[in-house]
Chain A
Amino acid sequence: DAKTTQPTSMDCAEGRAANLPCNHSTISGNEYVYWYRQIHSQGPQYIIHGLKNNETNEMASLIITEDRKSSTLILPHATLRDTAVYYCIVRNSGYALNFGKGTSLLVTP
């Protein structure tokens, strides 16, 4: 699986949009970009995934650059409950997810 690079930590004010970047410059053509988050002492929670088109669901939006070498996860209106470690992972079908260190997002009042 291709590796990803994420900032170690980010802050965001409550109610503002949180934009979490991810670089995956070695992604291959059949690998999808997945985003998960982990709140302390819980299992990871699936957020969203995509191949090359932008995606949106009830939790977040995923913007993937045209060359697919980077992506951004957008939480449109961050709340205190969005404080977590966010993982960007590229994955091929049927394979396990290989977790990096992720981005620790702190949402402040």
Chain B
Amino acid sequence: GAVVSQHPSWVICKSGTSVKIECRSLDFQATTMFWYRQFPKQSLMLMATSNEGSKATYEQGVEKDKFLINHASLTLSTLTVTSAHPEDSSFYICSASAPGSQSPLHFGNGTRLTVT
């Protein structure tokens, strides 16, 4: 089955620093990947749609200058949280789907970000 790998699985950083999270599709090519965020006891919230070779599309209320997305290849998308603050502490999850009109989205195992 399709596998999506996410790295790191957890990270602790200080306020004001930047953190990069990688999302890879291991056995398929993904022209589109999606980034989600999940706060404790809440559901997943879509942050942005990452398109290979073009700019990402951000959901309302998500700052594009703070959450930088790069989708430079068909198997890799990165999310960089810039100038992180404690309120950015959350569970970040990426997803991608294999080619095919109704191929299901497969998710990475998430990255737990803690900003101190």
For residue A97, CB closer than 8 A to chain B, the reply is: yes
A-B residue pair count with CB separations less than 8 angstroms:
51
Q: Is the CB of A102 within 8 A of B49?
A: no
Q: Do residues A44 and B107 form an inter-chain contact, with CB atoms below 8 A?
A: yes
Complex contacts, B34 vs chain A, CB 8 Å? 96-97
The interface residues of chain A, by DSSP majority, are classed as loop
Whether B109 lies near A43 (C-beta < 8 A) is yes
A97 engages B105 (CB within 8 Å): yes
Known contacts A41-B91, A41-B110, A94-B32: does B44 contact A46 (CB below 8 Å)? Answer: no
A36 to chain B, nearest CB (A): 8
Are B102 and A49 in contact, CB atoms less than 8 angstroms apart? yes
Of A41, A42, A49, A96, most B-chain CB atoms within 10 Å: A96
Binding site for B on A (CB under 8 A): 32, 34, 36, 38, 41-46, 49, 51, 87, 93-94, 96-102
What are 22 A-B residue pairs whose CB atoms fall within 8 Å in the complex? A38-B44, A41-B91, A43-B4, A43-B107, A43-B110, A44-B44, A44-B93, A44-B95, A46-B104, A49-B102, A49-B104, A87-B43, A93-B102, A96-B46, A96-B49, A96-B95, A97-B95, A97-B105, A98-B46, A99-B45, A100-B43, A101-B43
